[in-house]
């Protein structure tokens, strides 16, 4: 282990009357306490991992407002209610007070097994006029189920979707994992779909193969057609929808509030979860380069740096298993411009402080309600968080 463990004096402080535990401030420069890394790779630049712990002084008020089965994604409607998906294949409308509607009718058949089912949902860029919503799901296919994207018109009363069209289909693959996915409209109204490598073996190098949409981010128009300025348009044998490649499994993404570029968090294997800014035509390396190793401990890459492949802005080893990520845009918390990440394995909300494209601080908030899947900022700056459990919850987070 090459990381210098600084003299960190973690002193358990007395538990307050509210029952939360806390620890004394570690010395300046010490990272969040996580245990040792699995690999002994050196970061490509200072601060690429284990940024100093940065305390914002926030204490969270955590309120459970509704229960759902494996809730996966939240999309707020203009009236303040939210569309919320459940991975087994239901979409519902939830009010600010947590009243949950019956499932919305009219969704096409969804194949729910393993890590997949109904996943993300987002409003179209002209929702106020056309009421089009977009969702990602695992579609039953003859040659192996895979990630698809559909859109449909939400009725005025929110009870059903109609005029449903499947606008994108990832190539099929026979596995139950690594479906992605997040749906992010860019500022020009084009749709990014972030996906995964469908748990293909690293030795198959599928995410590096430009002939398939597996292990890729794609960019499409809202009707499923291909933007003429996509990076691989006109390249023989390459699906023109591809925006970037070499991705393992992306379940969290957002547009940078200033630059409008796509940022994503990506699951690594054992070690090597990543934060990336995703640019058209670039290769993000999986599985040719990674800061992780296989679950059996076998190496995947002998070197995490390679010419022509992008370095993550930041990585975690051990992993956080990132669900969604959002840039915080509000003012209720003192986090404006920070990256907030839902962590499935640590049951925490992870906050990254940025300076440009460098991570300069990390903080974690122990929510202690199970696997954190999604987060969404409410118009008042509070947060809704989903826990991906059989008896999952919508949690409302406000500062104390």
Residues at the contact surface with Ca ion, assessed by CB under 5 A: 284-285, 324, 326, 376
**Long-range contacts from 22-30, C-beta under 8 angstroms, 24+ separation:** 25/55, 26/53, 28/52, 30/6
C-alpha 301/C-alpha 303 separation (Å) is 5
* Closest separation in Å from C-beta 126 to Ca ion: 20
Task: At 103, give phi and psi (nearest 5°).
Answer: -60, 140
Question: CA angle at residue 256 from 253 to 262, to 5 degrees?
Answer: 45
What are residue 130's phi and psi, to 5 degrees?
-110, -10
Catalytic residue among 38, 70, 178, 247: 178
Nearest approach in angstroms of CB 160 to Ca ion is: 24
Q: Which residue is nearest to Ca ion (CB)?
A: 285
Q: Is 178 an annotated catalytic residue?
A: yes
Residues near 196 by Cβ (< 8 Å), separated by ≥ 6?
Answer: 147, 177, 178, 179, 180, 181, 214, 215, 247, 248, 249, 250, 251, 267
Q: Angle 376-282-362 (CA atoms, 0-180°, nearest 5)?
A: 40
As measured in angstroms, the least distance from the Cβ of 353 to Ca ion is 19
How many residues belong to the chain?
400
Structural contact between residues 48 and 358, judged by C-beta atoms closer than 8 angstroms: no
How many Cα neighbours within 13 Å face the side chain of 317? Answer: 26
- C-alpha 137/C-alpha 111 separation (Å) is 8
When the beta carbons of 326 and 393 are compared against Ca ion, the nearer one is 326
Please, which residue, 26 or 285, has the CB nearer to Ca ion?
Answer: 285
Query: For Ca ion, which is the closer residue by CB, 324 or 338?
Result: 324
Nearer to Ca ion, 227 or 268 (CB): 268
Which residue, 77, 63, 73, is CA-closest to 375?
A: 73
Q: Any idea what DSSP says for residue 265?
A: E
CB of 310 to Ca ion, least distance (A): 7
- Tell the smallest beta-carbon distance from residue 383 to Ca ion (Å): 10
CA torsion through residues 45, 352, 394, 157, sign: negative
Cβ-based nearer residue to Ca ion, 111 or 122? 122
Provide the terminal-to-terminal Cα distance of the chain, rounded to the nearest Å: 39
Choose between 161 and 340: whose C-beta lies nearer to Ca ion.
340
Smallest distance, Ca ion to C-beta of residue 8, A = 29
Indicate the residue among 16 and 80 with the shorter CB distance to Ca ion.
Answer: 80
Please give the DSSP secondary-structure letter assigned to residue 166. Answer: E
CB of 374 to Ca ion, least distance (A): 5
Strands of 109-160 (E only): list them: 118-123, 132-139, 146-154
Closest distance to Ca ion from the beta carbon of 303 (Å): 13
Any residues with CB less than 8 A from the CB of 173 and at least 6 apart, and which?
144, 146, 198, 199, 200, 206, 214
Nearer to Ca ion, 52 or 322 (CB): 322
Residue 206 has φ and ψ, to the nearest 5°, of -65, -40
- What is the set of active-site residues? 178
């Amino acid at each position: 282990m090459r990381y210098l463990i600084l003299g960190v004096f973690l002193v358990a402080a007395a538990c307050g009357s509210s029952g939360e535990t806390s620890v004394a401030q570690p010395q300046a420069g010490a990272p969040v306490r996580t245990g040792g890394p699995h690999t002994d790779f050196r970061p490509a630049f200072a601060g690429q991992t284990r940024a100093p712990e940065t305390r914002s002084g926030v204490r969270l008020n955590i309120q459970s407002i509704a229960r759902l089965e494996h809730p996966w994604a939240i999309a707020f409607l203009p009236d303040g209610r939210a569309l919320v998906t459940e991975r087994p294949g239901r979409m519902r409308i939830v009010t600010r007070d947590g009243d949950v509607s019956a499932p919305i009718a009219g969704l096409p058949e969804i194949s729910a097994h393993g890590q997949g089912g109904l996943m993300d949902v987002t409003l179209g860029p002209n929702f106020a006029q056309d009421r089009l919503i977009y969702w990602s799901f695992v579609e039953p296919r003859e040659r192996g189920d895979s990630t698809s994207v559909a859109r449909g018109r939400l009725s005025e009363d929110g009870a059903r979707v109609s005029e449903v069209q499947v606008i994108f289909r990832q190539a099929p693959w026979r596995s139950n994992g690594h479906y992605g996915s997040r749906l992010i409209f860019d500022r020009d109204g084009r749709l990014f779909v972030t996906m995964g490598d469908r748990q293909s073996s690293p030795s198959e190098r599928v995410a590096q193969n430009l002939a398939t949409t597996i292990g890729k981010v794609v960019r499409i128009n809202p009707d499923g057609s291909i933007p003429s300025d996509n990076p691989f348009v006109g390249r023989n044998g390459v699906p023109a929808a591809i925006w970037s490649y070499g991705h393992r499994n992306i379940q969290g993404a957002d547009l940078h509030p200033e630059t409008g570029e796509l940022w994503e968090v990506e699951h690594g294997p054992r070690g090597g979860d990543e934060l990336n800014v995703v640019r058209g035509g670039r290769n993000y390396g999986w599985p040719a380069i990674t800061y992780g190793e296989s679950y059996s401990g076998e190496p995947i890459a002998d070197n995490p740096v390679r010419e022509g492949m992008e370095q993550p802005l930041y990585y975690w080893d051990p992993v956080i298993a990132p669900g969604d990520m959002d840039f915080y845009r509000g003012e209720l918390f003192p986090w404006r411009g920070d990256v907030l990440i839902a962590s499935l394995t640590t049951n925490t909300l992870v906050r990254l402080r940025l300076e440009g494209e460098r991570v300069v601080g990390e903080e974690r908030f122990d929510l202690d309600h199970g696997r954190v899947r999604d987060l969404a900022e409410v118009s008042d700056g509070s947060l809704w968080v989903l826990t991906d459990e059989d008896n999952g919850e919508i949690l409302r987070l406000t500062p104390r």
